[in-house]
Each structure stands twice: as structure tokens, then as C-alpha cells.
Amino acid sequence: MVLIDDLLMFPVRGVLWILREIHNAAQEELASEADSITAELSNLYMRLETGKISEEEFAAEEKVLLERLERAQRRDAGLAAEEAGEELEEQDVKKRVA
């Protein structure tokens, strides 16, 4: 009976595994987005220091980058809170089963 159950559940488990992998890849990309924005900000400061851009250009570009960074950080914080909630739910389920 257990073998039959495993065979019947295999497609479902396979799809769930694929979805988990996609979710993990998306989270990694979002985390690297904040790093790339920080690198762009550093490059922007360097261009200002070397005189390649004016203060007005710097201010405009900095504003856009800081807004992007803030959105990325809020999104990361939301995902972290969501994951913490999922972990608590899993712990509750385990406690009920035990």
C-alpha cells in the first residue's frame, strides 16, 4: 500500500519541488538586487568625486537608486516575515501531529 501511495504522490511531490526551487531562485535574485543597487550607488559617488557628473545629475540619479534600494529592502523584509510565518505554521502542525 505504501508503495502505491508513493507512486501516486510522486507527480505532486515533483511539482512541489520545482515550485520550491523557483521560489528559492527568485529570493536569491531579489537579494542580489540590493547588492547591485549598492554597487551602482558606489559607482555614482565615484563619478561625482571624479567630476564626471554634476551635482544635479548626481542628485537625480541618487534619488532613483535610493528609491529602488528602499523598495528592494522592503520586499526582502516582507519575504523574511512571510517565511517566518510559514515556519511557525509548520511548527504548529508538527506539534499537533505529535
Backbone Cα Rg of the chain: 22
Average pLDDT of the residues of the chain: 83
CA distance to 39, 85, 88, 94, per residue, from 97 (Å): 48, 19, 14, 5
Read off the pLDDT of residues 4-23 as tens digits, 9 standing for 90 and up. Answer: 777 788 888 888 899 999 98
Read off the pLDDT of residues 63-90 as tens digits, 9 standing for 90 and up. Answer: 999 999 898 888 877 766 776 666 666 6
- Structural domain count of the chain: 1
Position 51, amino acid: G
pLDDT for position 18: 93
pTM: 0.56
Check pLDDT > 90 for residue 50: yes
- Can you spell out the DSSP letters for 22-73? HHHHHHHHHHHHHHHHHHHHHHHHHHHHTTSS-HHHHHHHHHHHHHHHHHHH
- Its domain, for residue 50, covers 2-97
Place of cell 537579494: 31
Distance of CA 95 to the CA centre of its chain: 29
The model's confidence at residue 62, banded by pLDDT at 50, 70 and 90, is very high
